Structure 1
Amino acid sequence: MKTTINKVLFVLSLFFVFTSCDDKEIITLNSDANTVVTLSTNSVVLTGDTASEEAVTVSWTEPDFGFEAATTYRILMDVSGGDFSNPQTISIGNAYSKTFLVQELNSRAINLGLEPDMESSIDIIVETRLSEQTTMQSNLVTLAVTPYSAVLDLSTTWGVVGSATPNGWDGPDVPFYQSSTAGVYVAYTTLIDGLVKFRENNDWTNNYGDDGADGTLEAGGADIPVTAGTYKITFNINALTYTLEAYSWGVVGDATPNGWDGPDINLEYDPTSDQWRALATLTDGLIKFRQNNDWGTNYGDDGVDGTLELNGSDISVTAGNYLITVNFNDLTYTLEEVDFWGVVGSATPNGWDGPDVELSLDYTSDGAVWYNDNVDLVDGLIKFRANNDWGVNYGDDGADGSLESGGADINVTAGNYSISINLTELTYTLTQN
C-alpha cells in the first residue's frame, strides 16, 4: 500500500492566508508529514475463552504538518495483499492508539473472510484526516491472526406462543435462547395485547402456563395475559418460574431519524454472537445507546475508542448507512459502513422507482447474505440493488439463479415469497411460501 497524501490536494499546496492590515502570512502544508504505525505484537491467536482480554494495540505517531491542525484518525484493515477497496474501518477520533479486545479483533477478522482456526494475515494502515477531502495514509503493518468461530449456538427447543406473539397460536414460536445459567432461557420479543404460553418444539405435547397468575408455571396451565410492549422473557425450567420485563435497546441522537426525543432506532438481539445489532441510516451528528427509550440507562463513549461508559459522552458519526453492533457483555460497539440491499421492480409494491423492499442481513454470513421471508409480489419483474439506487444492481441474464451486474430483469409470478441473495456467490433464491 502506498504511503501517500491525496496528491491532487497537495499539488494545490494547501495554504491558509491570514491578513493583518497589508501583511499576509502563507502557511504551507508539509508534504513530508506522515504517521508511523506500530503494533504491540506481530502475531495473535484468538480464542473464545479470552474474548474480553486485550489482543493487540495499534499505535501511531502524530504527523508534523508544519502548523497546528485538527486531525482525526481511522484504522483500516484488509486481508494481506488486498487493495483496501472494502476494508474494515474503525473511527478513532483524535487518539494515537487503539487497543483491540480479542472479541472485537476476531469480529473484524471474520468479517474480512479469514477462516476460523487457521493463521492468516491482516494488513493495517492508519488514515489521517484533515478534512473530508484531505487524507493521508500511513505505512502498512501486517498482523498474523488466528481467529475463532464467533457463531454461537444458543438455540433451545423452547419458545413463546400465543395470540400476543407475531405468529399467533399456530406459530412458529418466538424462540428462547440459552442464558449463562443452565436451564434458564431468555426470549426478546415485541408483543401485542393478548395471551402467551411456553411450549417445546412448536408443539403442544409439552407446554406450560400459569394457573395462579403468580409467576410459577404448571404443565398445561392457563394462558398468560400480557399487554403490548417489547419484552425480555425469562423462563426457568429448573424452578418452573418466569418473568416478563419491559426491555429494549436502541440508538438515539440528532444523527437518527427521530432525534434526541426518539423513538429510538431499535437494536435487534443476535443470538449467534450474543450481541445487539441494527441496520441504520444516520446523518452527520451524535448518537448514544439507551435502554427502553429512556435516559435512565444510557451509554456513550468517553474515550472515542469503541468502548462504552454509563452516561458517557455523545458519539460523533458522519452520514451513511451503517451496521451497528453493540456488545453489552464487554461494553464495546462498532459502526461499520455497509450497503443496504433491496428488491425493486414492477412486481414490488413501489414499482421501479422504489423505495425498494428491504432485505435483512444474515449476521452469520460476513455481510454476504441478505434476505426477506415475507415479500408480496405481483406478476412482473424484479432486480436487486444497493441503497435504493441504480449505481449497483444485479439481474439474471440466464434465468438460472445466478446474478450478473446490471443483468436482465427477473420474471416472477404473483405470490408471497422468501427471497435471499448471496453477494459472495452471486446467487439468489425465490421460494414461494
Structure 2
Amino acid sequence: MKNTFKILAAFIMISGLWSCASEDNFMIAEPQANAFAILTPDSGSAVTITETTPADNTALTLTWEGVDYGTPTAVNYTVEFALNGTDFATPTVITTVPATRYAMTFADLDAKAKALVVTPDAPYNGDPIAIDVRIKSSIGTTASEEKYSEVTTVVVNSFIPTVPPVLEKRELYFVGPASSAGWNNNNDNMPMFRDANNDDLYVYTGKFVADQFKLLEKKGQWQPQWGISGGILAVNDGTGSDPDPFVASGNGYYTFTVDVANNTFDMTPFAGNTATTIPTIGIIGDGTAGGWDTDTDMTQSSFDPHVWKITATLVDGFMKFRANNDWPVNWGSGTATSGVGVQDGSNIPVTAGTYDIWFNDLDGRYLLIPQQ
C-alpha cells in the first residue's frame, strides 16, 4: 500500500511539472510597441513623371523595418496610400507582400497618384500630388495583430496627357451648276463620302442637274481642285492649271465615285428608289446632346431630300442615325468619322469635338468633318 501512495504522489508531481513547462513554452504573438520606420524614400521625396518617361521603369522603391511579433511567425505587409492631410480616412491599398520592400513602376505610380485626386467631374489639373504612405503589418490568414508604420510623404509631379491632334483627312466638296452650290466655293457645298477603309476612295449617290461640276478639297478655296484631264482624274494643287470639269449628262440621281490614288472616276445612273422621302432624321446616342433618349434633328437638303446635315458638338461615346424619332428605321456602323450605316447596325464611335455631320439615306453613308 505504501508503494502505491508513493507512485501516485510521484505521478502528481510529474504532471504538475509538465503543466508548468507547457505554460512557459506557450507564446502569445504581440507586435513591438513602437511604430516601425519606413527606411526609403525620405519623407518629402519627389518623383517627376512626363509623357516620355519609360512607363515600365522603377519610379519608387519603398523599404521598411521588419516587425518583431515576439515569436517566429510569417508577417505580411500592406502598402497604403492616402492623399496628404486626410489622415488615411479612406486609404488606398496598393499591395500586400511578405517582404520589407516594394517597387512601383512609373505607370503604376502615375495611375495610383492620379486616382487620389481625379473625379468624374474634375480631371487631373497638373498640380503636384502629395501622397502619405504607410505600411500595415499583420499575421495569420485573418490579418490579425495589425501594426502601422510611421508615415512618409511622397510628392508626385505628373503630367496632363497631350491630346493628339485630329489628323485632317482630305475632303472633296462639289462645286458647279450640276450641284447644290453652283460655282460658289463656300456655299455649304455637299461633300463626297470618304470610304471607311480607304482614305483615297470617295462615293456619292445623289441628285445632279445636267451640267458641269468640279471637286474642291477646302471650302472657300479654289485649289486643290479636282476634275478631268486627258480623260482621267486630275488635280491642280495650286501650282498648275485647273482641270476640265466633270459633266452630268442629264438630270437625275447618279452614283459618282473617285479614286484619287489611281486617278479614276465613274458616274453611273442610280436605279434605286428615290421617290420615297423620310420626314425627319436625327442623331441619337450618349455622344450626342440628347443622349439615348432624345434625337437631335438634322436638316434636310432642299436640293436633294435624301441628304441630311447637322453641325453638332459631340462628347466621347457613341451615336446612331434614326428616322422619325423612333427605332424601326435606324442606321449604325462600327467605324468612326465615315462609313456605311445599316439597319440596326453597331453604334458609331465618336470622339469629343464639333463636327459637320452628313448623312445620305439612299445608301446609309455618313461623314463627320471636324470643325476648327
Q: Aligning the two structures, in what range does the TM-score lie when normalised by the shorter sequence?
A: 0.3 to 0.5
**Which one has the largest radius of gyration?**
2
Q: Give the TM-score normalised by the residue count of structure 1.
A: 0.31
- Higher RCO, Cα 8 Å, sep 6+: 2
The structure where strand makes up a greater share of residues is: 1
